Structure 1
Amino acid sequence: MAAQKQLPRFVEFGKKIIGIGRNFSEHAVELGNAVPTEPVVFLKPSTAYITWPNPIKMPDGASEIHHEVELGLVIGTDGRNIPESAALSHIGGYVLALDMTDRILQMKLKSTGLPWALAKGFDTSCPVSDFIVKDKIPDPQEVDLWLKVNGKMRQEGNTKNMIFSIAFLVSWLSRHFTLERGDVILTGTPSGVGPVKVGDVIECGLGTVAKMSFPVVEGN
């Protein structure tokens, strides 16, 4: 029980951020990608985390980065080879998250067959809300996601439209990585992703449960 009480501090002790790409079919299509038949996985380092009031910093050499609003799963109980029927019991809570992406660099890396780490894992590339206790989201597979840039709506979606369900993702990932308390799984973003530049303000929300806002500033 004491370990569970520490979960709101997951950004301080969580060891990994596991991202799922292309988990909404319309988002895959808008980027010219095929709809996947199994999860597309990437990792971010824990140094990617930021919380309010810290700003999103433009990475070196980039003139714009793309926003991707997501539901994050905070692992509450360690597990390996977790059956899908038990997957939700390993989730300790949730978080509203942004997967900030240097899209131009990502496309360059993809075109040469190289991994996406530099485009996905730069400092401040994973802004997150406060920890959301599990009871606040009785059905994580039925929650709205939205995002605005400078007051204009860019992204609207619902987790019911995921290609791979939350329970499936936890189970499938646990066959490849031991999931540890404090780890976060980013479950994918709906369509409408797009660029932001220095001076823009991103506002996003998870239904009526969580909301956050981050400015984009010059990196240093």
Structure 2
Amino acid sequence: MTEPTYAFAPPAVVSVPVQGRAERFAVHRIYCVGRNYEEHAKEMGFTGREPPFFFLKPADAIVVAEPGQTATIPYPTLTANLHHEIELVVAIGVGGRNIKAADAASHIYGYAVGLDMTRRDLQTDMKKQGRPWCIGKAYDQSAPIGPITLAAQAGDVNHAAIWVQVNGTDRQRSNVAKLIWNVAETIEHLSQAWELKPGDLIYTGTPEGVAAVVRGDTMTGGVDGLTPISVKVA
């Protein structure tokens, strides 16, 4: 078979390091769960256990924060209100459709700490206009992430503390147990809408305390049992 040729060089594969392994996790898609902690839902003007909803980021929104290092992201264009959202990230290793919550664990490769960076003013403006708010969420370098820890080595992530500090001061601090839709339920719902594939990442939602960062701020965050993340806004 003749190898295909391309009009230009294909982009490099986006990947995330795996803790303790030489191989890397090649990223397929990034799914994000909106308003998945009750107190965050309230601070955004909503209440209750609404059905889960999802948005996507492009794979090349990934910025890897290597262990023991501080990654750098630029302050993005078009915004004057850049917010941090600390999240537990689930890495899918076995794909599937219509996965039952009871079977979800067998599809999980591992877990990581991530930040869903948000141009809040742009997102809010799009909401008011009833328009999609991709411009607020799915922009370049909007998905910093730390190394993936294999599921068997991650401990009880479903009851782990989750937190982020900005310049050493607490901003968000909660527990993954407070997710409205837990990891298994999220995978069940998500796999009804899309066929999950190996390489998918699921940003599972953020707790209350989201707030703005400015140029020069450093965000450090973590989920107990996973490698923490450190990211500076350039």
Q: Same fold (TM over 0.5)?
A: yes
Determine which of 110, 113, 119 is the counterpart of 1:102. 119
Unaligned runs of 5+ in 1: 1-5
1:130 aligns with 2:147: yes
Q: Could you list the per-position Cα deviations for residues 109-159 of structure 1 after superposition, in whole angstroms to 9, with x for gaps in the alignment?
A: 001111121111111110000111112223221111010001110000111
Q: Percent identity?
A: 38
Whether the 8 Å CA contact 1:72–1:187 is kept in 2: the answer is: yes
* Distance of 1:198 and 1:122 partners within structure 2: 17
- Count of equivalent residues: 210
Determine which of 37, 41, 52 is the counterpart of 2:54. 41
| Alignment-derived partner of residue 51 in structure 1 | 64
* Distance of 1:181 and 1:211 partners within structure 2: 23
Instruction: Supply the AA of the counterpart residue of 2:64.
Output: T
Which stretches of structure 1, 4 residues or longer, exceed 3 Å deviation after superposition?
none
Deviation at 1:7, TM superposition (A): 7.8
1:69 aligns with 2:82: no
Determine which of 190, 195, 198 is the counterpart of 1:181. 198
Q: Could you list the per-position Cα deviations for residues 59-106 of structure 1 after superposition, in whole angstroms to 9, with x for gaps in the alignment?
A: 212123100000000001011111121111100101100000010000
Deviation at 1:165, TM superposition (A): 1.3
Whether the 8 Å CA contact 1:7–1:182 is kept in 2: the answer is: no
The 10-residue stretch of structure 1 (196-205 or 26-35) with the greater mean CA deviation from structure 2: 26-35
| Alignment-derived partner of residue 156 in structure 2 | 139
* Distance of 1:30 and 1:194 partners within structure 2: 11
Instruction: Supply the AA of the counterpart residue of 2:44.
Output: L
Unaligned runs of 5+ in 2: 1-15, 19-23
Whether the 8 Å CA contact 1:55–1:124 is kept in 2: the answer is: no
| Alignment-derived partner of residue 16 in structure 1 | 29
* Distance of 1:20 and 1:80 partners within structure 2: 18
The within-5 A match list for 1:68-217 is: 68-217=85-234
| Alignment-derived partner of residue 31 in structure 1 | 44
Partner secondary structure for residue 37 of structure 1: coil
Q: Could you list the per-position Cα deviations for residues 145-188 of structure 1 after superposition, in whole angstroms to 9, with x for gaps in the alignment?
A: 01000111000011111111111110111010011101001111
* Distance of 2:61 and 2:186 partners within structure 1: 22
* Distance of 2:167 and 2:60 partners within structure 1: 26
